[in-house]
Amino acid sequence: MSDASYFDESAAPKLPVAAPLDFIALLKPRVMSLVVFTALAGFLLAPTLPHPLIVFAALFAIAVGAGASGALNMWYDADIDAVMRRTRLRPIPAGRIDADAALAFGVVLSILSVFTLGFVSNWLAAALLAFTIFFYVVIYTVWLKRLTPLNIVIGGAAGALPPIVGYAAATGDISMSCLVLFTIIFVWTPPHFWSLAILKIDEYGSVGLPMLPNVSGLQRTRLEILIYCLFLAPIGAGPWLLGFASWLYGFTSVSLGLGLLYLAAQLFFARDETAIRQAARRMFAFSIFYLFAVFLMITIERVLSLMGLF
Amino acid sequence: MSDKGLKDEVLSSQQGIVLTPEQVRGRRVRNIAIGLGVTFLAVLFYAVTIVRLGSVVANRSI
């Protein structure tokens, strides 16, 4: 080594300056909160609940597992995150966290979350959580996301699994009721993300992500959103139709489903670009409200039922 | 570079990597966060163990 390089300050190892909040941002806290919320609904469907501390510890493990898969997703997607406006301030592209540190953080938390869930509840739930992390990181992020416009159709299974993990953590088993919740999220995911993809069509195009609007065009995407909403409206009423939610839930889910269908039809029949963007924005916002309201209703009904008030 | 400058550089390199105040602060808060995280996990595992044992823990032959 020459003296010049030996004394060159730029050759010194780059040391991290990341604060804990940067690592928390790596866990995608908003996605984590949705995962905890849907897993809690799965928990509450169980005929009998374990001790509240076990419920808390299991939900904590599920949340950490979700966060770990978010960190691994950010590690793999750092190159495209750096280009897109929506994501370029994330910790890795912004230079606050080294990519290797994010990878180590994600792997350690994945292992920790799976074993914690195994120890505090049971190994079926732990295996399902491990499968969810694997599916999100390997099947969706690494394999499908940059390969096919069906990326979120298939990858949506990862986001739909938390109610099954929650139910399995409570009972050590899987039932029709948690499978219905899985189906609701699974069918909800494509119209939700395709609405966003319509709004962000230029950004996704700039990094070459094969989202449906970029590959098949706006017309085909709007038709697919409408078709998915036609299926989602009755599937959303499934918990009531199958008898594990009340008529109040049935009324709410059918009303919300009709609202979703109306917005999907509005998006489908929109003529000019401005109208399409406005309709897509409304569809995206309402789809978030739809899922939140449906799961909130199930959660409230089950909590009241457990308290003997409903 | 003069002989004195070179000597200072060598002495500085022998002291190891000198952190900037921002790096020192970052390392300190990360260490505190890790400490709190490990403490939380220890308390959680202890409490879960007690809950899982339940009243059975008292039913043992002496």
User: What predicted TM-score, i.e. pTM, was given to this entire model?
Assistant: 0.89
> Which residue is listed with tokens 């300190």?
B28
pLDDT category of residue A19 using cuts at 50, 70 and 90: confident
Mean pLDDT to the nearest integer, A284-298 = 97
**Residue A59 near residue A166 (C-beta atoms within 8 A):** yes
> Is the dihedral angle over the CA atoms B21, B23, B24, B29 positive or is it negative?
positive
Distance from CA of A66 to the nearest CA of B (A): 17
Contact residues on chain B for A57, CB-CB shorter than 8 A: 44, 48
- Does B9 score more than 90 pLDDT? no
For chain A positions 73-132, those within 8 Å of chain B (CB to CB) are: 116, 119-120
pLDDT category of residue B12 using cuts at 50, 70 and 90: low
Contact residues on chain A for B20, CB-CB shorter than 8 A: 17
Between chains, do B48 and A54 touch, taking CB under 8 Å as contact?
A: yes
Average pLDDT, chain B: 81
- Does A113 score more than 90 pLDDT? yes
Between chains, do B51 and A13 touch, taking CB under 8 Å as contact?
A: no
pLDDT at A6: 46
Per DSSP, the residues of A128-192 read: HHHHHHHIIIIIIIIIITTT-TTHHHHHHHHHH-HHHHHHHHHHSS--HHHHHHHHHHHHHHHHH
Distance from CA of A210 to the nearest CA of B (A): 38
Between chains, do A13 and B29 touch, taking CB under 8 Å as contact?
A: no
Q: Report pLDDT digits (tens) over A222-241.
A: 999 999 999 999 999 999 99
pLDDT at A14: 65
Task: Please give the residue of chain A at the shortest CA–CA distance from B13.
Answer: A7
How many residue contacts between A and B have a Cβ separation below 8 Å?
40
Distance from CA of A22 to the nearest CA of B (A): 10
Selecting from A17, A20, A119 the residue whose C-beta is nearest the C-beta of B23 gives A17
Contact residues on chain A for B41, CB-CB shorter than 8 A: 116
Rg (CA), chain A: 21
Task: Please give the residue of chain B at the shortest CA–CA distance from A24.
Answer: B33
Q: Report pLDDT digits (tens) over A156-212.
A: 999 999 999 999 999 999 999 999 999 999 999 999 999 999 999 999 999 999 999
> Which residue is listed with tokens 């993809």?
A197
Stretch among A33-47, A276-290, B44-58 having the lowest mean pLDDT: B44-58
A195-223 residues labelled b (16+ CB within 10 A) or e (exposed)? bbbbbbbebbeeeebbbbbbbeebeebbe
Selecting from B13, B26, B51 the residue whose C-beta is nearest the C-beta of A51 gives B51
Q: What share of chain B is helix, strand, coil (3-state, %, to 5)?
A: 80, 0, 20
Q: Which of B17, B25, B44 to mutate to test the interface with A (most CBs of A within 10 A)?
A: B44
Q: Report pLDDT digits (tens) over A241-264.
A: 999 999 999 999 999 999 999 999
Between chains, do A57 and B44 touch, taking CB under 8 Å as contact?
A: yes
Q: What token pair was written down for A114?
A: 């799976």
Maximum distance among all alpha carbons in chain A? 80
Average pLDDT, chain A: 93
Between chains, do B48 and A23 touch, taking CB under 8 Å as contact?
A: no
pLDDT at B18: 85
Contact residues on chain B for A61, CB-CB shorter than 8 A: none
Mean pLDDT to the nearest integer, A62-90 = 95
- Does A4 score more than 60 pLDDT? no
Between chains, do A15 and B51 touch, taking CB under 8 Å as contact?
A: no
Q: What is the DSSP letter of A11?
A: G
Phi-psi region of A283 (alpha: psi -120 to 50; beta: other; left: phi over 0): alpha
